[in-house]
Every structure is written in C-alpha cells, then in structure tokens.
Amino acid sequence: MNDTIERRVRESFASQTMMQTLGARIIEVQPGLVRVSAPILPSAMQQQGFGHAGLTFSIGDSAAGYAALSMLPPDVDVVTSEIKINLLAPARGDRLVATGRVVKPGRRLCVVTAEVHAENDGETKLIAILQGTIVPVSAS
C-alpha cells in the first residue's frame, strides 16, 4: 500500500465536518477498499431507538467514495453522482462499520459498493448495502 494514498484519503476524510459531527473515523485503507466506523450516539438515533438511516447512509457513502479515491491519480478528487441504499435490519448496537469497495474503477465513472454492519456485544450484523456511482473531478 502506498503511504501517499493512505495519507491522502485520511487527510481528505479529516476535512469532512459531517464525519467529525458523527464521530466517524477511518479504520482501514487499502487500494479499492476503505472501512469507516462511527459510534451510534444518542444524537444519531431515530424515534424507535435505533441508529438513524442517515448515519448508515453517510458512513456508507464516505467509505465507498474514499475507496474510489484510493484508486485515482493525485490530481483527482471525487463526488458522489448517485447512490442507493437497501436497509436490511435496524442499526442496533454500539457502532456501525462501513466497508466501501470499488466494483469498477474508471476515468469518468467509478462504480462502488458498501456494506454496513452494526456491532453489538461482540457480534456483527449486516444492516445495509449501498451501490453507486462516483465521479472523478479535478482536485483544484
């Protein structure tokens, strides 16, 4: 793994104030794969006491987008063009972990996916799957 790629991904992620608000952090960076975790805080719950789908979506989108960024040249940044989510189960637990992967890299479009798992008392459960398109853009 190129240290420059990991540093680039981590520095960009650190500049996202939304991720800071959610308490999210990157826990793994590999070419084409990024894992993001976030605690299920009292401020990120929905009315039934589960983690809000917005939290699930946010970290899944970031994990997938940064997986794409990890495979692109240094003068390129990324934006999400479209992304869909299938919510499979309630977000019960202490934290969520999103694993973003590149399905197909490209110069104009990158197809990505992410799986989000809830962790609760040492057990993990798949709660969501995302799939989308990331667009490479000029970093300047």
* pLDDT bucket at 140, cuts 50 / 70 / 90: confident
- ∠ CA 6-7-13, nearest 5°, is 90
What are 45's strand-pairing partners?
A: 51
The CATH number given to whatever domain includes residue 66 is 3.10.129.10
Q: State whether residue 123 is helix, strand or coil.
A: strand
pLDDT in tens, 21-63: 999 999 999 999 999 999 999 999 999 999 999 999 999 999 9
Q: What is the pLDDT of residue 3?
A: 87
Domain that holds residue 125: 3-138
pLDDT in tens, 87-100: 999 999 999 999 99
Q: Please say whether the beta carbons of 99 and 89 come within 8 A.
A: no
Rounded distance between C-alpha atoms, residue 112 and residue 71, angstroms:
12
Q: Structure pTM? A: 0.95
Q: What total of structural domains would you count in the chain?
A: 1
Q: What is the pLDDT of residue 55?
A: 97
Average pLDDT of the chain is: 95
Which whole number is the average pLDDT over 104-131? 96
Asked if pLDDT for residue 1 goes beyond 70, the answer is no
* pLDDT bucket at 118, cuts 50 / 70 / 90: very high
* pLDDT bucket at 14, cuts 50 / 70 / 90: very high
Asked if pLDDT for residue 139 goes beyond 90, the answer is no
H helix count then E strand count, the chain: 3, 6
5's enclosing H/E stretch is helix 3-14
DSSP letter string over 10-24? HHHHHT-HHHHHHT-
Asked if pLDDT for residue 125 goes beyond 60, the answer is yes
